[in-house]
Structure 1
Amino acid sequence: MSNPIDDTLDQTFGKARRGRARRISSIWLVPAVALAIGIWMAYDTLSQRGALVHLTMLNAEGVEAGKTMVKVKEVAVGRVESVSLTDDFTQARAAIRMFDGTDNMLTEDAQFWVVKPRVGRDGVSGLGTILSGAYIELEPGIGEPGQRHFETLAQPPVMRRGEAGVSVRLHSDHGNQLNPGDPVTFRGYTVGRIQSAEFNIDNQRNEFRVFIQQPFSDLVSDRVRFWQSSGVSFQLGADGVRIDMGSLESILVGGITFDFLNEGPAGERVAQDTEFTLYRDRESAQQEGFTQYADYIMLVEQSVRGLSVGAPIEFRGIRIGTVLQVPYTGGEGLGQRLMQQEVPVLIRIEPERLGPSFGDLDMQNWQQQMQRAFARGLRAQLQSGNIITGAQFIDLVFSDAPLQLAEHDYDYPLFPMLSGGSGSLESRIAALVDNLNQIDFGAIGEQAERSLTASEQTLQAVEQLSTSLQALMSQPEMQQLPARLQGTLDELERLLSGYSTDAPAYNDATRAIQSLERILSDLEPFAESLGEQPSSILFKRAPAADPQPRREQR
């Protein structure tokens, strides 16, 4: 039975024809390609994304989401995606999306820190970030990769990983002002840095980790000693004033120094994390380096003011020991010795100070030699080393004083000492006062009084003479005397001027003398005749006889 509605439609529109379907329009290719590219780009982006790392830091100063980069040796390896606070609001937290291929950098011992301008004890750093902005530096580790949560360092690490050298650990029982980054020096040269400084509450010691760079790491052997360097060391002791200065950096911030303090072989190189003792100063480090020594007790019968721990013990100017304790409180006690007017002092004789050849001594044999030296007169006495400070030291001398060793309960043998020594400044002043008391100041005063009386009489005589001279000079005749002397000198000058070569009187006198000379030459023959024949003045002189020739003698 047919449907009337279908029949009506067939009559109206005719029966439909079956044929091929039409093709999809090419305009749909554009969104399809765009969709494929988007899917590919999303896949590529997701496939190249690195791990998401979370950093915890004290504060997020300089760190901005979407801008702050993570770099390794100035190469970007990641970017900060977000910055927030931790759940307890005590720290900041940054989420970092690392780039592809950086998973091997994220090891357990990897380190992160923020690079920004800093002013510290070692100078100014991070100036390049003033224009570019702060960034996070990553130093990859050498452990197993896979770590995603890290604690950001508050300060950049002192030494970078991979730098050749050796790390050692130091411990000390005294307080100090050392901090990470302070220099480590060897004979004035900076050769390393302090990596960490901590205080161990359990053993109450300061512990440090020190890194020494190559090639200076070869110097760190089992014979070196480490001590604290204050940059400028000023010591005023028994041996005078000593000033030691280090490098400019050590003067400003201090540091640690090490050296070989005793002669001998260099020793064996140490391994990583070898422990050393950090001494207070060079003298303390050198003191601990002596392994051969002998301890003695001295009973001092005079004041020990100025004798301090570390004072030298010398023999003829050569140091051979050190004072260890003043006063020594061991044995039977200090109080009983003080009642006996004796102060016990613990000293140490160190033969190694005389050279490396004394390092292998048999100390028992050495002590026997010391006993024989005591029998020959070796004694100790206090000497003043510095008058200004009053510091004292112990001097060993040979004396004729008899050997007297008192009974004692000490664990160390006694070192004989000269009693009544005058080495200290107080003793010298006391001896000077005693000498002054022996002077007879009364006799000296009487002699001085007599000298003053004689001097007074002399002064009176001089005063009388001065009065007489003053009265003589005040007379009119004495006052006219200079004028008369001046007139006499004028007359004498006029008289002498009349006898000058140009004066008429001088010419007349010259002519008269010439006339007198002619007259005397004329009278000369007459005088000769009168001398030969005095009667010739009355009678005629006889003619002279003819001369007769002489006969030749045969």
Structure 2
Amino acid sequence: MGSKSNFNVERAERRVGRRLSSVWLVPIVAIAIGVWMAYDTVTSRGELITLEVARAEGIEAGKTLVKAKDVAVGRVESVRLADNFDYAIIDIRMYRDTDRMLNSDSLFWVEKPRIGAGGVSGLGTLLSGTYIQLEPGTADDRQTQFVALDAPPVTPAGQKGIRIQLESESAQQVGIGDPVLYRGYTVGRVEQVTFDPGTQTMQHQLFIEAPYHRLVTDDVRFWMHSGAQLDLSSQGAQVNIGSLESLISGGITFASLSDNAGAEPVENMSRFVLYANQEAAEQARFTQVIHYVVLLEDSVRGLNKGAPVEYRGVRVGTVEEVPFHGMEGSADSLLDMKIPVLIRFEPERVNADVTAASLATWEANLEALFSEGLRASLRAGNLLTGALFVDLNLYPDESYQGVANTHGYTVFPSVTNSFTQLDQKLTALLDSLNSVKFAEFIDTATSTLAYSEEVLGGIHATSEQLNRLLTQASTQELPGALVNALNELEQTLSGYSADAPAYSELTRSIERLHSILRELEPLSETLRDNPSALFFDARIPRDPKVGSQ
């Protein structure tokens, strides 16, 4: 029993543990902050997009911002040239949550100071520097490669309205940003101007703002508008001045030139023709026309394409070509040749409801009027410019040979106008003036002028003598002496007024004289009957006897 237990006794040892030094806290915190910043930078970055620009003027990597509504949404990371050196490529890092701005219809352009038809823009970049402007699109698809516009878009994004396509034979002076006018009021802008080599025509894209887009109906006409128009035609001189903007840059105007109450609004991207002026636009309304050739013996100088054809002052047609090259002369001799002029009769100016069937009736009625004396002649429309127009009128005394046709056109009968007769009278008058002996007339006029000079010399000498007389002291004192004499006469006459004593005494004297004259009246009668009674006794007649015979 006294067995002995075996125990493993281990000795406890005291060990001192190693503690982390506080010196390492600073780099650990710095690393943590760096990692957090790197994570935040990676997670906060948006898409990397590329932008092609024609010129990278003012663009700097790391500095130039991309803005939308004046809010920074990205920054330029790098700028480089394309492989063919035709344009520059800009790498832009967009900010977080800007992906929905990058659509296929998003627009980019470099914002910088510009002076254009719409005014001055981009002046704020003089202080802030050049930046890239982004106009977000509304399409559903996403895009990361874009081409920058050369200039800001004419129409803001989201603007309501419609776009219209115009076609013209010449661009004239239409530019991007020019106004589109309706009755002189700006309702839109020109967005694009391109040239189509295939059709060799100019293509214009317009944007008409809402609510004015409802004015564009299927019966409107578009034509060029200039700020100032001077029209010297047969109708006289007309000057039209528009707004200051249209005066500088011109523009396009449109209007409905008919009274069509059933006109319907057009759809987006509808196509129209752009006419050179309002007259051309109005002419396009008349589609039912009858062409005639007028053979004129008079000079056609002053008769131009577009001149009116009138019947007793009412316009019924238009001159199309002067002279008309679609036919040859009517005679072999140039002196006997008549000048052909192509005109068109437009019945729609008289009656708006003209169809193809009624057009034939119009033509038959006109040919019937030829036999009644309907003739064409040239008239002066403007004496200042010498513009002529074709006048239609009835001349019953004119002979008629029947309807004539040449080269597929009906010949409209014509007569010599009054201007030719007037020219002949003026020629005869000039011939009469040439026969006058102006030498004798000039000699007579010379002698008359010499005599007139002598008379004028005498008048001049007389005026000098009169002037010397008036400048003498005695002559100058004469008015004063005359005034004094008049004053004295006035004082003298004032003493013989009705209230003056002298007037009363004169009255009594006249009365006494009158009494004496009455007393002397018998004596005068006696002396008249017996003049010797003044020296002898007067004979007293005997008394008459009664009953004496």
Q: For residues 513 and 214 of structure 1, do their structure 2 counterparts lie closer, same or farther at Cα, with a shift above 3 Å needed?
A: closer
Give the structure 2 partner of residue 342 of structure 1. Answer: 338
Q: For residues 539 and 174 of structure 1, do their structure 2 counterparts lie closer, same or farther at Cα, with a shift above 3 Å needed?
A: closer
Give the structure 2 partner of residue 293 of structure 1. Answer: 289
Aligned-pair CA distance for 1:157: 0.9
Contact 1:84 1:94 survives alignment (8 Å):
yes
Which segments of 5 or more consecutive residues in structure 1 lack a partner in the other structure?
A: 1-14, 464-496, 543-554
1:63 equivalenced with 2:59 (yes/no) = yes
Choose the corresponding residue for 2:317, options 315, 321, 335. 321
The equivalences for 1:20-169 within 5 A come to 22=17, 24-25=19-20, 27=22, 31-169=27-165
- Separation of aligned partners in 1, 2:164 and 2:433: 72
Q: For residues 440 and 268 of structure 1, do their structure 2 counterparts lie closer, same or farther at Cα, with a shift above 3 Å needed?
A: closer
Give the structure 2 partner of residue 351 of structure 1. Answer: 347
Question: Partner letter of residue 94 of structure 1?
Answer: I
Q: For residues 215 and 266 of structure 1, do their structure 2 counterparts lie closer, same or farther at Cα, with a shift above 3 Å needed?
A: farther
Contact 1:292 1:361 survives alignment (8 Å):
no
- Separation of aligned partners in 1, 2:517 and 2:322: 121
Give the structure 2 partner of residue 430 of structure 1. Answer: 424
Q: For residues 25 and 423 of structure 1, do their structure 2 counterparts lie closer, same or farther at Cα, with a shift above 3 Å needed?
A: same
- Separation of aligned partners in 2, 1:435 and 1:515: 88
Provide the alpha-carbon RMSD of the alignment.
4.0
Aligned-pair CA distance for 1:34: 4.4
Superposition TM-score, scaled by structure 1 size: 0.74
Choose the corresponding residue for 2:519, options 515, 518, 521. 521
Question: Partner letter of residue 231 of structure 1?
Answer: G
Which segments of 5 or more consecutive residues in structure 2 lack a partner in the other structure?
A: 1-9, 456-488, 497-504, 544-549
The equivalences for 1:168-183 within 5 A come to 168-183=164-179
Contact 1:320 1:353 survives alignment (8 Å):
yes
Deviations 1:75-126 (A, max 9, x none): 2111112223333333322221101111121112211111121122322111
Question: Partner letter of residue 519 of structure 2?
Answer: S
Contact 1:105 1:145 survives alignment (8 Å):
no
Contact 2:309 2:391 survives alignment (8 Å):
yes
Q: For residues 364 and 48 of structure 1, do their structure 2 counterparts lie closer, same or farther at Cα, with a shift above 3 Å needed?
A: same
- Separation of aligned partners in 2, 1:36 and 1:350: 90
Aligned-pair CA distance for 1:56: 1.7
Give the structure 2 partner of residue 468 of structure 1. Answer: none
Question: Partner letter of residue 17 of structure 2?
Answer: R
Aligned length: 469
- Separation of aligned partners in 1, 2:418 and 2:112: 67
Aligned-pair CA distance for 1:274: 1.0
Contact 1:262 1:356 survives alignment (8 Å):
no
The equivalences for 1:487-526 within 5 A come to 517-518=515-516, 521=519
1:252 equivalenced with 2:260 (yes/no) = no
Q: For residues 514 and 48 of structure 1, do their structure 2 counterparts lie closer, same or farther at Cα, with a shift above 3 Å needed?
A: closer
Q: For residues 361 and 236 of structure 1, do their structure 2 counterparts lie closer, same or farther at Cα, with a shift above 3 Å needed?
A: farther
1:382 equivalenced with 2:375 (yes/no) = no
Deviations 1:274-310 (A, max 9, x none): 1111111111111111122211111112221111110
- Separation of aligned partners in 2, 1:515 and 1:187: 104
Contact 1:172 1:205 survives alignment (8 Å):
yes
Contact 1:221 1:268 survives alignment (8 Å):
yes
1:413 equivalenced with 2:410 (yes/no) = yes
Which deviates more from structure 2 when the two are superposed, residues 92-101 or residues 364-373?
364-373
Q: For residues 280 and 338 of structure 1, do their structure 2 counterparts lie closer, same or farther at Cα, with a shift above 3 Å needed?
A: farther
Give the structure 2 partner of residue 197 of structure 1. Answer: 193
Aligned-pair CA distance for 1:318: 1.3
1:262 equivalenced with 2:258 (yes/no) = yes
Contact 2:219 2:260 survives alignment (8 Å):
no
Deviations 1:315-353 (A, max 9, x none): 11111110011122225x347577552222111111222
Residue 249 of structure 1: SS of its match in structure 2?
A: helix
Question: Partner letter of residue 59 of structure 1?
Answer: R
Residue 362 of structure 1: SS of its match in structure 2?
A: helix
- Separation of aligned partners in 1, 2:517 and 2:233: 109
Residue 385 of structure 1: SS of its match in structure 2?
A: strand
- Separation of aligned partners in 2, 1:423 and 1:232: 33
Residue 411 of structure 2: SS of its match in structure 1?
A: coil
Which deviates more from structure 2 when the two are superposed, residues 400-409 or residues 266-275?
400-409
Contact 1:221 1:270 survives alignment (8 Å):
yes
Contact 1:112 1:136 survives alignment (8 Å):
yes
Question: Partner letter of residue 412 of structure 1?
Answer: Y
Question: Partner letter of residue 411 of structure 1?
Answer: G
Which deviates more from structure 2 when the two are superposed, residues 407-416 or residues 131-140?
407-416
Question: Partner letter of residue 168 of structure 1?
Answer: I
Identical pairs, percent: 41
- Separation of aligned partners in 2, 1:41 and 1:512: 147
Q: For residues 47 and 368 of structure 1, do their structure 2 counterparts lie closer, same or farther at Cα, with a shift above 3 Å needed?
A: same
- Separation of aligned partners in 2, 1:512 and 1:58: 129
Contact 2:404 2:410 survives alignment (8 Å):
no
Q: For residues 355 and 395 of structure 1, do their structure 2 counterparts lie closer, same or farther at Cα, with a shift above 3 Å needed?
A: same
Q: For residues 17 and 88 of structure 1, do their structure 2 counterparts lie closer, same or farther at Cα, with a shift above 3 Å needed?
A: farther
Deviations 1:58-81 (A, max 9, x none): 222222222221111112111112
Q: For residues 525 and 60 of structure 1, do their structure 2 counterparts lie closer, same or farther at Cα, with a shift above 3 Å needed?
A: closer
Question: Partner letter of residue 521 of structure 1?
Answer: E
- Separation of aligned partners in 2, 1:511 and 1:108: 135
Aligned-pair CA distance for 1:216: 1.4
